[in-house]
Amino acid sequence: MSLPRPTLAAVNPWLYGVALAVAGVLAVLLVVDLVRDRAAQDSHFVGLAVVELLMLVQLVGGVVALARTEREVEGAVFVSYLVTNALVPVVAAFLALAERSRVGTTILLLGVATVAGLEVRLWDVWGGGGA
Amino acid sequence: MAAVPDASPPAHPLSEGWGRALVFGYGLFAVAATGRSAVQLGMEPQKAPLAYSLSLLAAVLYLVATTCLLLGGRTGWRVAGLAVAVELVGVLSVGTLSYLATDLFPDKTVWSHFGQGYGFLPLVLPFAGLAWLRHTRPRRDREAGRDRRDRDG
């Protein structure tokens, strides 16, 4: 009985944790913006950039780990989640910059929620093939 | 919202303001539902034909709605309305059936349990879509009609 080595995990637990935490904090801040009826603060876009950076690292790390792993991972699903998560923050930011109002804040909130949701799915897909 | 009376609708009225949030939401679900049905139909299409065809229908509806919102115009508005209406019926009936007749759905669709797996957004989206379409409904003939009624009455 050996536990899976975390260092070899495509969904690195640290990166996963940090991504979820940043997304969670961002979501709270965005809800505050929504309640106060204002456009997303500039600092929130910086937060989104951090999420994007994490997703890019995860995309590269995930593809490499997928190529090396012996596990039965649904490759197409896994990679499509990785790619989607790297694209969502960018698209959300562009749309939100075009609507600097509650609308933009809502778009960012949707984007952050999507990233968090897909992170959870990524974790499942990677672990689902049997550890 | 003060509308300019009798002005021809702007080029892309459907994809601005709250429409932009809808484009994002519908776009996300177009991708999600297309991906889901591609995986389901690609891997084992025999397993749950009904659920998988519904996934495919959902994918098409989301794609059509997103495209129409982006295109805008009178035709875009009409087709988007149709797609969103069918979507609403779909999510309500599939959502209800997935609780009542579980044997019909051996595998999930985007609409199962009112979109529970997607944060219930599939349930919210059609209502938001209909509200937005109501808000952006082409004004020309409606207002002209109302004006005429006012004059004649």
Q: In terms of CA atoms, which chain B residue is nearest residue A104?
A: B21
Residue-range definition of the domain harbouring residue A37: 9-128
Residue pair A122/A114 in contact by the 8 Å Cβ criterion: no
Q: Closest chain B residue to A90 measured between Cα atoms?
A: B24
C-alpha closest to that of B17 among A102, A41, A32, A38: A102
Q: How far lies A116's CA from each of A9, A88, B105, in Å?
A: 18, 11, 27
Q: Which residue in chain A is spatially nearest to B39 when comparing CA positions?
A: A77
Does residue A60 belong to any structural domain of this protein? yes
Amino acid in the structure at residue B40: Q
Which positions ≥6 away from A99 have C-beta within 8 Å? A107, B16, B17, B20, B21
- Whether residue A2 is contained in a domain is answered as no
Give me the mean pLDDT over the B21-38 stretch: 93
| Rounded percentage of chain A residues whose pLDDT exceeds 90 | 58
Distance CA B56, CA B30 (A): 10
Check CB contact of B131 with chain A, cutoff 8 Å: no
Is residue A92 a contact partner of residue A45, using CB atoms and an 8 Å limit?
no
Inside any domain, residue A91: yes
The reply to whether B23 touches chain A by the CB within 8 Å rule is yes
Q: B126 to each of A52, B14, B88, how far by Cα in Å? A: 29, 15, 5
pLDDT for A74 equals 82
Name the more confident of A9 and A13. Answer: A13
Q: Does B24 touch chain A (CB under 8 A)?
A: yes
CA distances from A106 to A54, A93, B97, B145 (A): 22, 11, 31, 36
Q: Which residue has the tokens 């080595």?
A: A5
Nearest partner of A108 among A127, A94, A120, judged by Cα? A94
**B24 vs A99: CB contact, 8 Å cut-off?**
no
pTM score, whole prediction: 0.85
d(CA A114, CA A82): 12
Count of structural domains within chain A: 1
Is A3 a member of any domain?
A: no
The predicted structure's pLDDT at residue A67 = 87
Per-residue confidence at A7, pLDDT binned at 50, 70, 90? Answer: very low
Q: Is residue A1 part of a domain?
A: no
Task: Find the CB nearest A99 among B20, B25, B35.
Answer: B20
Q: Where are the domains of chain B?
A: 13-146
Q: Which helix (H) or strand (E) holds A104?
A: helix A102-128
pLDDT digits over A49-85, tens only?
Answer: 999 999 999 999 999 888 888 777 788 889 999 999 9
Q: What is the pLDDT of residue A130?
A: 42
- pLDDT (tens digit per residue) in A86-105: 999 999 999 999 998 999 99
Give residue-wise pLDDT tens across range B60-115: 999 999 999 999 889 999 999 999 999 999 999 999 999 998 888 878 888 999 99
